Amino acid sequence: MQLTGAEIVIRCLQEEGVEYVFGYPGGAVLNIYDELFKQDKVKHVLVRHEQAAAHAADGYSRSSNKVGVALVTSGPGVTNAVTGIATAYMDSIPMVVITGQVPTHAIGQDAFQECDTVGITRPCVKHNFLVKDVNDLALTIKKAFYLAATGRPGPVLVDIPKDVTQATAEFSYPKTVSMRSYSPVTKAHSGQIKKAVSLLLEAKRPMVYAGGGVVLNDAAAQLTRLVRLLGFPCTNTLMGLGGFPGTDPQFTGMPGMHGTYESNMAMQHCDVLLAVGARFDDRVIGNPAHFARNERKIIHVDIDPSSISKRVKVDVPIVGYVGDVLDEMVKIIESSPSRPDPATLKAWWGEIKEWQRKDCLKYDTKSKLIKPQFVVQKLYELTKGDAFITSDVGQHQMWAAQYYKFDKPRRWINSGGLGTMGFGLPSAMGTQLVNPGATVACITGEASIQMSIHELSTCRQYRLPIKIVNLNNRYMGMVRQWQEFFYGNRYSESYVDALPDFVKLAEAYGHVGMKIEKPGDVEGALKEALKQTERLVFLDFITDHKENVFPMVPGGKGLTEMILAEEL
Amino acid sequence: MRHILSILSENEAGALSRISGLFSARGYNIDSLTVAPTEDPTMSRFTIVTTGTDDIIEQITKQLNKLVDVVKVVDLTDGNHIERELMLVKVRAAGKDRDEMKRLADIFRGRVLDVTDKSYTIELTGTSEKLDAFLQAIEPGVILETVRTGASGIGRGERVLRV
What DSSP letter does each residue of A26-71 carry, written as one string? Answer: -GGGHHHHHHHHT-SSSEEEE-SSHHHHHHHHHHHHHTTSSPEEEE
Query: What was the pLDDT predicted at A184?
Result: 84
- Same domain for B100 and B66, yes or no, is no
pLDDT of residue A567: 64
pLDDT in tens, A36-48: 999 999 999 999 9
- To test the contact with chain A by mutation, choose from B7, B43, B60, B68 the residue with the greatest count of A C-beta atoms within 10 A, namely B68
Task: Let me know if residue B159 belongs to a domain.
Answer: no
Q: In the predicted model, is pLDDT for residue A548 greater than 70? A: yes
Catalytic residue among A162, A297, A467, A515: A162
Domain assignment present for residue B119? The answer is yes
What sign for the dihedral angle of Cα A352, A358, A361, A362?
positive
Judge: A306–B59 Cβ closer than 8 Å, yes or no. yes
- Residue A308's closest chain B neighbor by CA? B59
Look up A455 and say whether it is catalytic: no
Would an 8 Å CB–CB cutoff place B26 in contact with chain A?
A: no
Judge if B71 and B104 occupy the same domain: no
Assess if residue B47 is contained within a domain.
Answer: yes
Q: Which domain holds residue B93?
A: 82-152
Sort out which chain A residues have CB atoms less than 8 A from B71's CB and list them.
180-181
Average pLDDT, chain A: 97
- Return the CATH number at B35: 3.30.70.260
Q: Which of A147, A179, A306 sits opposite B63 (nearest CB)?
A: A306
What span, in angstroms and rounded, lies between the C-alpha atoms of A63 and A59? 6
Residues B75 and B98 in one domain: no
Q: What are phi and psi of A541, to 5 degrees?
A: -90, 120
Q: Are residues B11 and B66 in the same domain?
A: yes
A50 catalytic residue (yes or no): yes
pTM metric for this prediction: 0.96
Is the Cβ of B163 closer than 8 Å to some Cβ of chain A? yes
Q: What is the pLDDT of residues A114-160, one digit of tens each?
A: 999 999 999 999 999 999 999 999 999 999 999 999 999 999 999 99
Average pLDDT value for residue range A90-96: 98
Q: Are residues B130 and B75 in the same domain?
A: no
Instruction: Give residue-wise pLDDT tens across range A420-479.
Output: 999 999 999 999 999 999 999 999 999 999 999 999 999 999 999 999 999 999 999 999
Q: Which one-letter amino acid corresponds to residue A9? A: V
Q: Which of A16, A50, A446, A455 is the catalytic position?
A: A50
Closest chain A CA to residue B71? A181
Which of B57, B79, B101 is at the close of a domain?
A: B79
**Cα A226 to Cα A243: distance, rounded to the nearest angstrom:** 12
Q: What is each CA distance from A376 to A17, A240, A290, in whole angstroms?
A: 36, 19, 33
pLDDT in tens, A279-295: 999 999 999 999 999 99
Task: List the CATH number of the domain containing B105.
Answer: 3.30.70.1150
| In a domain? residue B158 | no
Pick the closest to residue A298 from A190, A203, A417, A188 (CA basis): A203
Asked whether the ipTM of the predicted complex exceeds the cut of 0.95, the reply is: no
Q: Are A445 and A376 in contact (CB under 8 A)?
A: no
- Read off the pLDDT of residues A387-420 as tens digits, 9 standing for 90 and up: 999 999 999 999 999 999 999 999 999 999 999 9
Count CB pairs under 8 A between chains A and B: 38
DSSP 3-state of A454: coil
**B97 and B53 belong to one structural domain:** no
Comparing alpha-carbon positions, the chain B residue that sits nearest to A312 is: B55
- The answer to whether residue B161 is domain-embedded is no
Q: What is the mean pLDDT of chain B?
A: 95
| Domain final position from B46, B79, B112 | B79
A180 vs B18, B21, B71: nearest CB: B71
Give the integer Cα–Cα distance in Å for A62 and A412. 9
Same domain, B74 and B38: yes
Counted domains in chain B = 2
Q: Domain boundary at B32, B56, B79, which?
A: B79
Q: Which residues of B touch A182 (CB under 8 A)?
A: 68
Same domain, B52 and B101: no
Residue B140 domain-assigned (yes or no): yes
Same domain, B50 and B66: yes
Full set of structural domains in chain A with CATH? 2-170 (3.40.50.970), 190-356 (3.40.50.1220), 372-549 (3.40.50.970)
B66 touches chain A (CB under 8 A): yes
In this structure, the answer to whether residues B68 and B7 fall within a common structural domain is yes
- Residue B157 belongs to a domain: no
Residue B163 lies in a domain: no
Do the Cβ atoms of A304 and B66 come within 8 Å? yes
Spatial separation of the C-alpha atoms in residues B112 and A480, rounded to whole Å: 69
pLDDT digits 0-9 by tens, A502-520? 999 999 999 999 999 999 9
Residue A206, sorted as left (phi over 0), alpha (psi -120 to 50) or beta, turns out to be: beta
Beta-carbon separation of B62 and A306 below 8 A: yes
Please tell me the number of Cα atoms within 13 Å of A426 on its side-chain side. Answer: 35
Same domain for B67 and B101: no
- Whether residues B6 and B75 fall in one domain: yes
